[in-house]
Amino acid sequence: MLQVQFIRQHKEEVLERLALKQFKELHLIDEILALDDSRRKLTVEYDETKAQANTLSKEIGKLMSQGQKEEAEARKSSVSELNARLHPIDEQLKATELQLNELLVKVPNLPSPLVPPGKNPEDNVEVRSGGSIPTLPEGAVPHWDLAKKYDLIDFELGNKLTGSGFPVYKNKGARLQRALVSYFLDFNIERGYHEMNVPHLVNEDSAYGTGQLPDKEGQMYHVTEDKFYLIPTSEVPLTNFYRDTIVKDTDLPIKLTAYTPCFRREAGSYGKDVRGLNRLHQFEKVELVQLVNPAKSYEVLDEMVEHVEALVQSLGLPYRILRLCGGDMSFTSALTYDFEVYSAAQERWLEVSSVSNFESYQANRLKARFKEAGGKAQLLHTLNGSSLALPRIVACLLENNQTADGIHIPEVLKPYMGIDKIS
C-alpha cells in the first residue's frame, strides 16, 4: 500500500508511474488526497476540541478548591458540550479513515524506474539467457504422453478425485517431485536461507498483508465458514511472520525458504496453455522470501535473481530471464524478473519463477518495520522468488531429457532419486 504522504509530495510522479503500469483509475489519486484533506481537518478539529475540554477540566478542580462553585459548574457545562461534540467528530474521522484505506488498497505499487514500458508479455525485455535447446529423438512426445507411457502422472484420476488441474503423481513421478523439493530446499539452505514449515491456510489479515486481499481477480480459494484462504504461495505466511513487528537492523537481512502446495483458481484459463502440467489449480513450489534494509533491496534482488539462475542452470535446462514491462507486472510488485525454461517437445517457453522486489508496499500493509540503534522505526522492503515452481520444471525435465531408452535424470538429482533414468 502506498503512503499518503508520498502521494501528496510526489503526485505527478505517482501518476506517471501508475500510467506505466497501465493503471486506469488515476482519478483515485485526487480522491485519496481529498479524503486525506478531510481526515487532517477532522483530526485538527478533534484535537482542538479535546484540548479545550482538558483545559476546562483542569480549571474546574482549581475553582472548586477556591470555593468558586458557580464558575466551576459553568466550566462543567462547557466540558459536557465539548465532549458531546467529540463523539460525532470521532465517528466521522473513523469513517473517513476507512474510506481512505479502501481507496489506497485499490492503488497498485509504483513500478521501479527500471521497469520498461509496455502493455503485455510481448513487451517484456530479455535480460539474458543460457543453456542449449536440445535436439529431441525422432518420435519425441510432450510430457503428458511421457507421463502416461511411464506411469508418472495420472491426470484423469486427479479429475475424478477433484477436477481438472489437480493431477495425481505416481511411482517415479511422485519420487521426482520429492527429489526436486529436497534438492531445492538444500540448495537454498546452503546459501543462507532458513527453512520453515508453514500453514497452508491463512486468515484475512495475512492475505491482506501481502496484497492478496482484496482479491481483485478471484484467484484465491476461500474457506468461507472459517474465513480462511488457501495460500497461492508460501510467500503469504512467510512474509506475515513479521506483521506488526519491529526488528533490529542487525537482524537483517531475514532470509526464509519453505516448501508448500499452492492453490490458485486460475479463473479464465483455457486452451493449449493449460494442458498437462502447464497450468494447475494445485501445485508444489519452493519459495524464497527476504526482508531487508531498503538501502539494500535492489542489491538483494540481483542476488536472488542470480540464485535462481544458478538453480536452473544446475538442472541443465535452457532458460531466459525477462524483466517485466509495466503492463505485465503484478499489482504489488515494483520490479519483477521472470524465468522461463524451454519445453522442447511443446516448442515453447514456460514460466517457472518470478523474482520480485515489493519495496515498502507490502511492509506498509503489514506494519513490518526495522529500527537502527537510536533511530526511528522504518518500513522494511520485502522480496520473494520461486526456487522453483515444480510443474513446468517437471514438464521440461521429462520432455528435454527423453531418449529412446528412457528419461535421463540430471546429475544433481541422481542422489535424491537413487536412479539414473526413468524407464
Query: Does residue 125 have a known ligand-binding role?
Result: no
Query: Does residue 351 have a known ligand-binding role?
Result: yes
Coil, strand or helix at 420: coil
Range 243-262 average pLDDT = 98
Outline where DSSP puts E strands in 148-239: 153-154, 168-169, 194-196, 201-202, 222-223, 228-230
109 within a domain of the structure (yes/no) = no
Query: Does residue 365 have a known ligand-binding role?
Result: no
For residues 321 and 404, membership in a common domain is answered with: yes
Here the CATH number for the domain that contains residue 52 is 1.10.287.40
Query: Does residue 265 have a known ligand-binding role?
Result: yes
Query: Does residue 204 have a known ligand-binding role?
Result: no
What letters, b where the CB count within 10 A reaches 16 and e where it falls short, cover 235-261?
A: bbbbbbbbbeeebeeeebbbbbbbbbe
Give the model confidence (pLDDT) of 198-240 as tens digits. Answer: 999 999 999 999 999 998 778 999 999 999 999 999 999 999 9
In 325-389, alpha helices (H): 361-366
For residues 233 and 178, membership in a common domain is answered with: yes
110 within a domain of the structure (yes/no) = no
Range 139-156 average pLDDT = 97
418 within a domain of the structure (yes/no) = yes
For residues 390 and 355, membership in a common domain is answered with: yes
**Structural domain span for residue 43:** 4-104
Residue 178 Cα to chain centre, angstroms? 25
Q: Give the total number of structural domains in the chain.
A: 2
Query: Does residue 266 have a known ligand-binding role?
Result: yes
Query: Does residue 132 have a known ligand-binding role?
Result: no
**Cα torsion angle, 103, 106, 111, 115, sign:** negative
113 within a domain of the structure (yes/no) = no
* Partner residues linked to 26 by β-bridges: none
For 402, the grid coordinates are 527423453
Distance CA 368, CA 296 (A): 16
Q: Which of 45, 69, 104 is the last residue of a domain?
A: 104
Range 11-17 average pLDDT = 98
116 within a domain of the structure (yes/no) = no
pLDDT value, residue 272:
56
Supply the mean pLDDT for the chain.
Answer: 95
For residues 95 and 196, membership in a common domain is answered with: no
Query: Does residue 353 have a known ligand-binding role?
Result: yes
For residues 157 and 27, membership in a common domain is answered with: no
Query: Does residue 190 have a known ligand-binding role?
Result: no
Strands 245-248 and 282-292: unpaired
Q: Torsion angle of alpha carbons 399, 404, 406, 411, nearest 10°?
A: -70
244 within a domain of the structure (yes/no) = yes
Range 375-402 average pLDDT = 97
Cβ–Cβ under 8 Å, residues 193 and 183: no
For residues 306 and 417, membership in a common domain is answered with: yes
39 within a domain of the structure (yes/no) = yes
Q: Which of 50, 72, 104 is the last residue of a domain?
A: 104
Distance CA 244, CA 246 (A): 7
For residues 140 and 256, membership in a common domain is answered with: yes
Here the CATH number for the domain that contains residue 386 is 3.30.930.10
Residue position matching grid coordinates 486525506 = 36
For residues 135 and 86, membership in a common domain is answered with: no
For residues 240 and 388, membership in a common domain is answered with: yes
Distance CA 381, CA 297 (A): 6
Distance CA 412, CA 414 (A): 6
For residues 95 and 132, membership in a common domain is answered with: no
For residues 223 and 302, membership in a common domain is answered with: yes
CA distances from 136 to 38, 144, 167, 233 (A): 66, 16, 26, 33
199 within a domain of the structure (yes/no) = yes
Range 304-327 average pLDDT = 98
pLDDT value, residue 269:
57
Give the model confidence (pLDDT) of 351-376 as tens digits. Answer: 999 999 999 999 999 999 999 988 99
Task: Please count the CA atoms within 13 angstroms of the CA of 93 that sit on its side-chain side.
Answer: 14
CA distances from 194 to 210, 256, 257 (A): 20, 5, 6
pLDDT value, residue 274:
79
What letters, b where the CB count within 10 A reaches 16 and e where it falls short, cover 328-363?
A: bbebbbbbbbbbbbbbbbbeebbebbbbbbbbbbbb
Q: Which of 104, 132, 149 is the last residue of a domain?
A: 104
For 406, the grid coordinates are 528412457
Cβ–Cβ under 8 Å, residues 308 and 320: no
For residues 17 and 138, membership in a common domain is answered with: no
- In percent, how much of the chain has pLDDT > 90? 89
